[in-house]
């Protein structure tokens, strides 16, 4: 990338790279590390035409999140829909899950020439989680 004077690096962190949650110290530390690495790498490559940014998703409906929903459902004896709502409403003001395409759309933009002056940034796709 440096030789070509053009490149895009996109790290996928998490909202937990920006805020903390109880009982997630190792995960939060790891995701904060990605955000810090993104900033340092952006500075190191700023004059090389290489941008480095991070995407920090909130709840994205994936198998990992489904496991959390299953735990809530079993603990409370409620439906999958009620458990999903309980999980999402706890953190994400939009009360809806992101989907992988939401993250992909932001990544696609960050790879364009229109994003050439965007580097060292961390963008949330979190339905308002970090706005509170």
- Which residues, at least 6 apart from 41, have a Cβ–Cβ distance to it below 8 Å? 9, 52
The answer to whether 55 touches 11, Cβ cutoff 8 Å, is: yes
Structure tokens at 33: 């590390």
Among residues 27, 30, 37, 72, which one is catalytic?
Answer: 27
The answer to whether 57 touches 98, Cβ cutoff 8 Å, is: yes
Residue 123: active-site member: no
30 conformational bin, left if phi > 0, alpha if psi -120 to 50, beta if neither: alpha
Give dist(CA 78, CA 81) in Å, integer. Answer: 8
Residues annotated catalytic, as ranges: 27
């Amino acid at each position: 990338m440096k030789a070509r004077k053009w490149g895009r690096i996109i790290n996928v962190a998490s909202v937990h790279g920006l805020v903390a949650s109880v009982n997630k110290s190792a995960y939060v530390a790891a995701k904060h590390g990605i955000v810090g690495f993104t900033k340092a790498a952006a500075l190191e490559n700023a004059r090389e035409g290489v941008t480095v940014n991070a995407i920090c998703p909130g709840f994205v409906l994936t198998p990992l999140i489904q496991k959390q929903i299953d735990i809530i459902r079993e603990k409370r004896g409620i439906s999958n829909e009620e458990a999903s709502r309980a999980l999402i409403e706890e953190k994400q003001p939009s009360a809806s899950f992101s989907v992988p395409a939401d993250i992909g759309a932001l990544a696609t933009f960050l790879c364009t020439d229109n994003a050439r002056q965007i580097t060292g940034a961390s963008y949330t796709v979190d339905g308002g989680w970090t706005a509170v």
